[in-house]
Amino acid sequence: MSERTRIASSPIAVTDDEVLALGFEMIGVPAKVIKGRRNLIRFFRDNESELPHVVFINERVAEEIRDYREDLLRRGKVSPVFAVVPDMEGARGVRLKELASLLARALGSEELKF
């Protein structure tokens, strides 16, 4: 099996934090450290067709690529699934805010408070 096939079928982590990347590598998840919104979006756009089904990202990266992830959904792409993990400094609440936003849209209301 080629390296490209192995990576495409196995989860990866994309983070802007070297320590978090090391943690993923230690449990066997290949990790890429990419900093800056422009570089992150370029990486995801350039590799979109080769991304695995699951991509772990930290909360800062999730915030940086929010528009890109929303664009994927608008285009009907359900893969990859972005699994958002807390930043090393602690949770920023990104996952809860995104869930609240999705629920509010599903219910037709923007008034949900968490």
Domains in the chain: how many in total?
A: 1
Please write the tens of the pLDDT for every residue from 15-42: 999 999 999 999 999 999 999 999 999 9
Task: Please check whether residue 26 lies inside any domain of the structure.
Answer: yes
**Residue bearing tokens 């958002």:** 84
Domain range holding 85?
3-107
- The verdict on residue 39 lying in a domain is yes
Residue 114 forms part of a structural domain: no
pLDDT at 96: 61
Residue 51 lies in a domain: yes
In a domain, 113, yes or no: no
Residue 25 belongs to a domain: yes
Give the CATH number, domain containing residue 45: 3.40.50.10580
Q: How far is residue 48 from each of residues 20, 29, 85, measured CA to CA in Å?
A: 23, 18, 21
The 10s digit of each residue's pLDDT in 44-101 is 999 999 999 999 999 999 999 999 998 998 898 888 999 999 887 766 566 566 655 5
